[in-house]
Structure formats: structure tokens, C-alpha cells
Chains A and B, each alone.
Chain A
Amino acid sequence: MKKNMNIEWAGLNMGRRRFLQGAAAIGAAAAAGGLPKPAWSAVGSTLRVRAYSDLKSLDPAFSSGLPGEAVQAPIYNKLIQYNPGSEWGWQLDAATSIEQVDSTHIKFALRDDIGFTNGYGAMTAEDVKYSFERIVDPALDSPNKPDMGTLSHVEVTGEREGVIVLKEPFAPLWSIALPHITGNIISKKAFQEAGGRIATSAPTASGPYMFKEWQPRQKVVLVRNPDWKGSPAAFDSIEILPIDDENSAEIAFEAGELDFTAVPVSSVERLRGAAPKNGVLKEYPSLYYVWLGMNLDNPKLQNPKLRQAIQYAINLPMITEAAYFGIAKPSTGLIAPGLVGHREQSLIPEAGDIEKARQLLEESGETNVSLTLDVNNTTTFVTAAQIIQANLAEIGIAVEVNVHEAATFWTLGEEASGDQWKKLELVLNRFSMLPDPYYATSWFTCAQVGKWNWERYCSKEFDALHEAAAIETDTQKRDEMYRKAQDMMEETGAYRFLTHEATAILYNNAIKPALRPDGFTLLRYFEKA
């Protein structure tokens, strides 16, 4: 008996010949580009973005790094948020008004339409007080305490009004404390019920999205907050996938698994010519700073002329060309262009000066110099290290490159991890940065020696300048102070600033990403194109 070849679906009775004809017509139309594109080629109404590491905490007092903030920013509100766009700035969020009354008092009023989910009520000034004061509470020992700077307390003057009181003026309040991780406002009631701190599950949310679940090493899922009264969230859900390798993330994008990702700088040139289907490539200047540091406490690096010889021998354009494929530019210091304190020029020429380096080495009286250079195990840093190795070989300094996996690398200069800091000679380092120079200079003070200050540079004058610049409210004066601070660092001979790197992102043209000027995602403002 011959089987019935008709295809029946939803009452449609279609013969095999007709089905094939129809399929052929659809195929031809698709090949000719005649069919409308689906609104959501990859995602439906779920936005999938890549994070470079997995979630560690949903508590603003204990999360660190950009991946933590990427998850928290859509679910918590702040008084102010960074502006999406190409200029650093902020906009109101939970605050209807915020005003610097004097150098140590900031008055704010909250919107009356923001509430916490799961029955935790409206957001009040008490929540703001609790959120900010717990960060600086010594009992909580929050690692993010420095971000809050000189915060003394928050005075509650009404249900939705209050005054932030500082011990001393603190200029980074507007660029770090309020619009970044520590500025996230949490529910006092919910956190107190949870014992004062939370880990990787949020009991409540107040932003356009709510935390749904965290699948370790798989994804974090946020869903639309039905109680949100602000501008509607554009997506039903956001999935944040931890993919540490940018090459893998790029492949995931091409496979339609991601709608937004950073891509390796090595891919930029190729993607400029041929971005994946529906993909848009954008390049952003980064705030990161990469430098070659020298351990000032190492007996081999006591001679200042030797350190200067090393500084002058290093050719930055070679490094940015080879390790960053020409996408990143040489830097002049810790502070990137566009920020207060950025130097137009460093004391050492970009390309160095080999003749001067040789002369300095000769003046130093050092002969047969051999040094080690410790680097984190990434192709970019190992490539940069080999350029430095070749540069120093030109003046007769032998360099042995020691490659370390990340966990080991980040303990090399830490006194708490043993005595290995004593053996540290040259080290290629990279720190992340926020849009205020305070965040950069704070790692190079005497208090940071043996913690993050691996060069072990300790100058009372530098420390005083760092502290004075943090409380200086005159932008022009601050600018001069931070430029001087970088001059002082460079004059020690212990630093050769290399680059601020660059961020390249790839996104689906069906979305309209919202990003900070450095390319960091502001997920709550992402929209459909």
C-alpha cells in the first residue's frame, strides 16, 4: 500500500509537488535576499551578551570588576548612571535631583515610582543610606571601600530625600562612587533579612530587569521586571555568558549564539573588511593601562641610570603594532585621553631612543646585565614581552621571559603570597581603570607596596599629591596634579607606560547597544534596532 505523501499541518493540505515548488520558491527568494529579515535572527526577545568572567557576587560591596557591574547595573538602580555615548558623563537614574550643596554635602531626592520586587516596598532614602554606609563600614570589610573615598555618612531628611556627607571633598564621587558598583542601591530590608550580605542570588531587584538564575560557568539570566515604571526594558530576558577567550566568543557570535561580544584585536582588521552576517564592528579607546614595571627593591635594579636605559630602549609603536595589531596606540601614562590628568606626552619618546639608552647604560657602569621579565600568559603579553626582550637586547641587556598562568601571575608581587616579590625584576602589568585619575594613582602609593604596587615605589610626596588631588574640586588643578604624579612615577625609572589597549566589539545589527565611551556595556539601556 502506497503511503499518503501529503503533508498536513494546521489544516493545510498540500501535495508533495506543491510543497517542493513552494520550498524552491522560498529558497530562491531567500538566496536573492528578497525575504524580509527576521527581527531576531539570533535571539528572539532574549539578548545574549558575552562576559569575560563568571559571576562572583551580586553584592555591590563584594563584587569586583566589570563583569560584576554588568550584571548588577540592570537589576539595581543608582542615584546616577553613566551616560551611554562617546563622552564621559552621567545622567539621573533613581534620583530626580542631585546637587552638590558644598564641597562635602550632596543633596538628593529619589523618584517616587521605584520599588523593590518580591514585596520589599518602595525605594527610600533609608535604602540609600544603608547601601552607601555599609560599603565604608569597617565591620563589613568591603574590598570596594576605596571607591567610596571620603564618605562619612548619609543623612536622611525625608522619606525620599537625603544628604550624602563626606569627610573631605572627593572629586571621584561623581565619576566612580555614585555611577559605578558602589553606587548600586539595595533594599535594606532584603539585605538585613539575608544576614547583611548576599552572594550569587539577589533577593530583590529595583531596575528594569530582575535576576532569575545563575548557572555556574554557563550563564546568568536576567528577566524583565514587570514592576519597573521607568523606560520599558527592551528585552524579555538578558543572558550573560562567561566566555573568557575572545576568539571563542567571536566564533559564538558568528554561530548566532551571541548578540554582543568583545573580539580580539587580532580580528579587527579582518572584520573591518568582512564583518559576519548581521554583525557590526565598533572600536573604542580603552581605559586599561599597560606598563613595564621594575622592582625598585631588587638589588639588580638599584641603579637609576640602568632603569632609565631600559625605559629609553623600549619602542612603543613596535609593541602596539606587533601585540595589538596597530589597533591600540602607545600611551603616555596611567591616564587615558579624555580623562582629567591625561598627559599629551610622556617624558620618554614613544619610540624610545636607542642611542640615549646605550649612553645611559654606559653611564650606569653596569655590564653583562641579565634580567627576568614576568608576564601573564596571553598571546598579547607574551608578544609584547618578546619585543621588549629584543629592544633590550639591542643595548646589551639579556632578558629571560617568564610566562605565568593568571592565578600565579597575580601573586608575584604580593607580600601576602610569600617572598617571591623579592625576585621580581621586570614585570609586564595591566590594570583596569575607571573614568577618574584617582582610581589609577591609588595603586602606586606607599600603602599599596607589596599589594598592588609591585614596583614598590614609595614617595611621601607622591602620596600627598594623590591625597590632595582626590579632594581637589578644581578640575584644572586636578589635571595638573595628576600629570605631575605621572611625571614623578616616570622619573623614578621604574615605569615605562606602554598602551591603554583598545576595545573592539561586534554586535548584531538587530540590537542597538548602549556603551560607555570605553566600550563597556550598559545593558539596561540596550534596545532593539
Chain B
Amino acid sequence: MKQQSELLKSAKLILRDPLGLLGLVIVIALVGSAIFAPSLAPFNPTAIDMKARLSGPTASHWLGTDQLGRDTFSRMILGGRVALQVALPSIAAALGLGLLLGMVAGYGPRWLDNAIMLLFDTLRSFPTVMLALSFVALVGPSLGTVMLVVIVTSAPIYGRIARTQTMTLKSSEFITAEEAMGARMPRILLIHILPNILGTLVVLASMDIPAVIALEAGLSFLGMGVKPPTPSWGSLLKDGYALIRSTPWLIIAGALPIVMTTLGFTFLGEALRDVADPKLRRTR
């Protein structure tokens, strides 16, 4: 009951924050459109129609068509699905991996901590985009490659935070009490430490989603992301850039959802952070 009321209280706090509410609406719209994309898209996003190519916005093609006569609005909607298909699972995997390794590093023996930190530092020493391009050059462009890059580069960030928080909690009295009663490491980490650090990391992860979407779009813009003819916001941007002078609606269709997604997740993430951190809320 207490947990339920805490959740309700948090939800109310978000709804009372105008920017948080706006972020929530955008995120729900984005996720909703991604889930129901095949039903929402008025046209097959990969169907070529040479007669309709490069048409401006019309009643049937709300955002015009591209150089192959494909409906830009449908490609934008389906592009959102690709963006979330990359962002949500890869951030979730990176969060899970980072949490696990971070907690083990923070709670385990010193040698293990050193080894995991060395691994994190090594992975973080590669610039994300350069690492992504190297992966693509080695294994070829695909959604899986983009997701792998996100997991490899994001997990150390979450891991470091999880480790720091675990080390702080490790010396708490309730952990010492658990240890005194013979609790083993897995139980302490999963039952006692994880619930206390998860909130912060979830907020952080939600704010990372736009960055991952931008990375996917960037790689697709460079031709290193999803394969044609799969629609993605990055490939819309690429096609739009080539035709920016004559058909600007293409680049708008690629850029607008990226901007909206970034704003949505950022507003929501900030609202969640405020909810999770009452001190910060009071200072605003």
C-alpha cells in the first residue's frame, strides 16, 4: 500500500510539472506510434511509386514523397519504430550489464573491482562514433551492430555509477546487519542494494535514450545504420539533405521527430529526477 501511494505521489508530481507532463505526452505519443506504426502509416513505407516521386505535401501524402515516391509520413512513423527498437533494448541491456558489473565491482574484492574498472576505462576510451564506425566496418551495418555499440559504450557509464553507490551503501548499518546474519553477496546485491540505486540509474537511462536515437540516426545518415529500404530518421535526413534545396519537407520529416524525442525524454527525465531527488525539487 505504501509503495503504491509513493508511486501515485510521484505520478502526481510529474503531472504537476508542465514540462514533465509535456515530456510524458511526447514519450507516450512516440511509443504509441511506434507500437501501432503499421496501422498508423497510411502507405507501405517501402513501396516505390515513380509517378508520385518528390511530390509536396498533399491530402494523401501529408509530408510529401521522396525520390522513390515513397510516402514520407509513413517512413517517419516507421522510422520511430526503428529508433525505439534500437534505443530501448540496447539501453535496457546496457543498464542491466552496467548494474551487474558495477554492483559486483563495488561490493566484491578489490582485485575484481580493479579488473572491472580497467575494462570500463578501456571501453570508455573509445569515442562512441569512432567505435561505431569501426564496428560497422568490421561486421557490416545493421540494427544489431548499432545496439552492440550502444551496449558497449553505455554499460560502463551505468556501471561506474552503480559501483559508487554500492560502495556507499556497502558500509551502511543495514548491510552490515545482513552480513552479520550470514547473507551472501547475491542476496545483498539484489534484495538490498539494487532497489536503492535503481531509481537514479533509470532516470539517467531515460535521459540517454535521445542520445542513442541520435546515434542511430547519425549512423543511418552516414549509411552505416539500418539497411535500405528500411525507413529510419537518419536515412530520411540523408535523403533530405541531398534534396534540401528542392524538397525541404524530407529533411523536416527526419529532423522533427529527433528534436521532439530529445525534448520529450529530456523533460520526462528531468521530471523523474526531480521526483527522485526532493532536495533538487526544493531548489527549483
**Interface residues in chain A, defined as those with a beta carbon under 8 Å from any beta carbon in chain B:** 247, 250, 264, 266-267, 269-270, 318, 321-323, 325, 377, 379, 382-383, 385-387, 389-390, 400-405, 408
Asked whether any CB of chain A lies closer than 8 Å to the CB of B109, the reply is: no
Most chain B Cβ neighbours within 10 Å, of A250, A267, A403: A403
Q: Which residues of chain B are near A264, meaning CB under 8 Å?
A: 242
A248 to B94, CA, bound (A): 38
Chain B minimum-CB-distance residue to A381: B223
CB distance from A335 to the nearest CB of B (A): 28
Residue pair B67, A270 in contact (C-beta under 8 Å): no
A379 to B68, CA, bound (A): 12
Partner of B227, one of A321, A322, A390, A400: A400
Residue pair B68, A386 in contact (C-beta under 8 Å): yes
Residue pair A402, B67 in contact (C-beta under 8 Å): no
Closest 3 CB pairs of A and B: A377-B223, A379-B242, A403-B223
A408 to B140, CA, bound (A): 10
Chain B minimum-CB-distance residue to A323: B67
State the total of A-B contacts with C-beta under 8 angstroms.
65
A266 to B68, CA, bound (A): 13
Q: A379-B239, A389-B228, A403-B228 are in contact. List 12 more A-B contacts (CB 8 A).
A: A266-B67, A266-B243, A269-B246, A321-B53, A322-B48, A322-B50, A382-B223, A386-B48, A386-B68, A390-B48, A401-B227, A401-B228
A114 to B281, CA, bound (A): 82
A247 to B245, CA, bound (A): 9
Residue pair A385, B245 in contact (C-beta under 8 Å): no
Considering the complex, which residues of chain B in the window 206-256 have a beta carbon less than 8 Å from any beta carbon of chain A? 222-224, 227-229, 238-239, 241-246
A321 to B49, CA, bound (A): 12
Q: Which residues of chain A are near B280, meaning CB under 8 Å?
A: none
CB distance from B241 to the nearest CB of A (A): 7
Residue pair B228, A382 in contact (C-beta under 8 Å): yes
Residue pair A377, B246 in contact (C-beta under 8 Å): no
A198 to B68, CA, bound (A): 47
Which DSSP category, helix, strand, loop or mixed, fits chain B's interface? loop
Partner of A247, one of B140, B141, B244: B244
- Known A-B contacts A264-B242, A390-B48; A403 and B68 likewise in contact (beta carbons under 8 Å): no
Asked whether any CB of chain A lies closer than 8 Å to the CB of B181, the reply is: no
CB distance from A384 to the nearest CB of B (A): 10
Partner of B67, one of A250, A322, A389: A322
A400 to B142, CA, bound (A): 11
Asked whether any CB of chain A lies closer than 8 Å to the CB of B1, the reply is: no
| 21 CB < 8 A contacts A-B | A247-B242, A247-B244, A267-B246, A269-B246, A321-B53, A322-B50, A377-B222, A379-B239, A382-B223, A383-B67, A383-B68, A385-B228, A386-B229, A387-B68, A389-B228, A400-B227, A401-B227, A401-B228, A402-B141, A405-B222, A408-B137
Considering the complex, which residues of chain B in the window 41-96 have a beta carbon less than 8 Å from any beta carbon of chain A? 48, 50, 53, 67-68
Partner of A402, one of B50, B53, B140: B140
A386 to B243, CA, bound (A): 17
Residue pair A247, B241 in contact (C-beta under 8 Å): yes
CB distance from A62 to the nearest CB of B (A): 27
Partner of B246, one of A266, A323, A385, A404: A266
Q: Which residues of chain B are near A390, meaning CB under 8 Å?
A: 48
Partner of A405, one of B67, B224, B229, B244: B224
A135 to B50, CA, bound (A): 49
Residue pair A322, B137 in contact (C-beta under 8 Å): no
A382 to B245, CA, bound (A): 20
CB distance from A298 to the nearest CB of B (A): 17
